[in-house]
């Protein structure tokens, strides 16, 4: 009889502990805090940037705001260089990142990703007078530039290029125009926006590549499971009702919610 009571007590205590953990996971803390902390580069149009009035705007700013509203909290954007975004997630400085983060199998081993909310095509860019580079295979043995640990940098390295680290697209283009690098790979929509803002820039697109899925990363542990599920539901609804497509059309003139 005593053993039965002890077992029952143990099960009750275990159930209480599990419930307590569920009530104190990241989603619960975010709702209690009233804000969700979001890593944002703030220098990568049209994803996240400052307009002429120095207001933080962009496609991902509106999508992240939509997610925060769906959770019933306010977005708290924190400026982060690309190469510090994942470090900030690891150290719990940020709850999530919404910054055009491409989903890869390698990243998914360490981080939990939501479902993709947009897809982006990649482009290979060279200086306007370059006649030697036409496709990715031509960058072998040459020098490119990108943010550290970006999917673009890894692709360039895979193709045999040496990659210089540049913290922003503006600096990358400066290196290209100055002839200090031979090429760069970046998101097509970012290059389109850059050329709209700098129509006389001495650069050109020589190859367009398939689109990549973009999603929201967060820490990969039990603490984030309910948050990932909640954000997935918000993204699903926003894809079905066209809100995300509307946002991408506003900033790029294209519906980026389809992979092709």
Give yes or no: residues 8 and 106 share one domain. Answer: yes
Give yes or no: residues 21 and 108 share one domain. Answer: yes
Backbone phi and psi for residue 167, each to the nearest 5 degrees, phi listed first = -75, -15
- Residue 162 vs residues 93, 128, 141, 158, 259: alpha-carbon distances, Å: 32, 21, 7, 10, 29
For the chain, what's the residue count? 260
Q: Is 112 exposed, middle or buried (0-12, 13-18, 19+ CB in 10 A)?
A: buried
Give yes or no: residues 56 and 183 share one domain. Answer: no
> Which residues, 6+ apart, have CB-to-CB distance to 134 below 8 Å?
206, 207
Give yes or no: residues 60 and 147 share one domain. Answer: no
First vs last C-alpha separation in the chain = 66
Give the per-residue pLDDT at 8.
56
Give yes or no: residues 128 and 196 share one domain. Answer: yes
Give yes or no: residues 136 and 111 share one domain. Answer: no
Give yes or no: residues 62 and 110 share one domain. Answer: yes
Read off the CATH number of the domain in which 68 is found: 3.40.190.10
257 falls within a domain: no
Give yes or no: residues 106 and 229 share one domain. Answer: yes
The SS3 call for residue 219 is strand
Give the per-residue pLDDT at 17.
47
Query: 183-187 and 203-214: which strand pairing?
Result: unpaired
- Residue 71 vs residues 33, 144, 226: alpha-carbon distances, Å: 12, 40, 11
Angle at CA 156, nearest 5°, toward 150 and 160?
145
Taking the C-alpha atoms of residue 219 and residue 88, their distance in angstroms, rounded to an integer, is 10
Give yes or no: residues 176 and 207 share one domain. Answer: yes
Query: Among residues 105, 97, 103, which one has the least CA distance to residue 44?
Result: 97
Give yes or no: residues 222 and 96 share one domain. Answer: yes
259 falls within a domain: no
Give the per-residue pLDDT at 1.
53
Give yes or no: residues 155 and 29 share one domain. Answer: no
Classify residue 29 as left (phi > 0), alpha (psi -120 to 50) or beta: alpha
175 falls within a domain: yes
Give the per-residue pLDDT at 249.
96
pLDDT by residue (tens digit) across 159-201?
A: 999 999 998 899 999 999 999 999 999 989 899 999 999 999 9
Find out whether 169 and 96 touch, Cβ atoms under 8 Å.
no
Expressed as residue numbers, the domain containing 228 is 2-117+215-252
Taking 70 as the pLDDT cut, the residues of the chain under it are: 1-23
Give yes or no: residues 82 and 48 share one domain. Answer: yes
pTM: 0.78
Per the structure, the count of domains in the chain is 2
């Amino acid at each position: 009889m005593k053993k039965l009571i002890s077992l029952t007590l143990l099960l009750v205590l275990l159930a209480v502990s599990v419930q307590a953990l569920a009530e104190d996971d990241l989603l619960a803390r975010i709702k209690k805090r009233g804000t969700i902390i979001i890593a944002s580069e703030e220098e990568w149009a049209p994803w996240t940037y400052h307009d002429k009035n120095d207001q933080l705007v962009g496609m991902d700013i509106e999508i992240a705001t939509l997610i925060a509203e769906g959770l019933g909290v306010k977005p708290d954007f924190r400026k982060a260089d690309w190469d510090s975004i994942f470090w900030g997630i690891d150290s719990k400085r940020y709850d999530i990142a919404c910054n055009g983060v491409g989903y890869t199998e390698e990243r998914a081993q360490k981080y939990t990703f939501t479902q993709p909310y947009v897809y982006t095509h990649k482009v290979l860019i060279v200086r306007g007078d370059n006649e030697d580079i036409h496709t990715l295979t031509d960058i072998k043995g040459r020098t490119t530039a990108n943010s550290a640990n970006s999917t673009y940098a890894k692709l360039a390295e895979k193709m045999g290029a040496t990659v210089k680290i540049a913290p922003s697209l503006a600096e990358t283009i400066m290196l290209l125009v100055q002839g200090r690098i031979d090429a760069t790979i970046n998101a097509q929509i970012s290059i389109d926006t850059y050329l709209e803002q700098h129509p006389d820039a001495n650069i050109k697109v020589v190859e367009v590549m398939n689109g990549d899925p973009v999603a929201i990363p967060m820490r990969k542990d039990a603490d984030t499971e309910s948050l990932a599920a909640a954000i997935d539901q918000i993204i699903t609804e926003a894809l079905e009702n066209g809100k995300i497509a509307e946002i991408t059309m506003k900033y790029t003139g294209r519906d980026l919610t389809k992979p092709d």
